[in-house]
Amino acid sequence: MEKLRTLIREEFKAALQQDQLLTKEGAVKVTGASNAAFLKAISDGIVKPQLVKGRKKAMYLESEILKIEVRRRRSQ
């Protein structure tokens, strides 16, 4: 039973460590950031574009995208 638990833990850790690649549009949608905020994050080096073979658009790692700080305006 203990071997089964360790195996499940290892599989769960491996599943959590997988990082998805998103397009710019998908990344902006996930974070809720504006286009300007996204481009600023790229120029600051927070997000690095990745070129994937067979695709014309750059892709971005989800873990890096989630580091973008988004300022929300308060509605009154």
Helix (H, G, I), strand (E, B) or coil at 31: helix
| H/E segment holding residue 61 | strand 60-61
pTM: 0.67
Q: Where are the domains of the chain?
A: 19-69
The single-letter code of the amino acid at 4 is L
Query: Cα separation of 7 and 59, whole Å?
Result: 32
Read off the pLDDT band of 17 (50, 70, 90): low
Q: Give the model confidence (pLDDT) of 29-57 as tens digits.
A: 888 888 999 999 999 999 999 998 888 88
Mean pLDDT score of the chain: 84
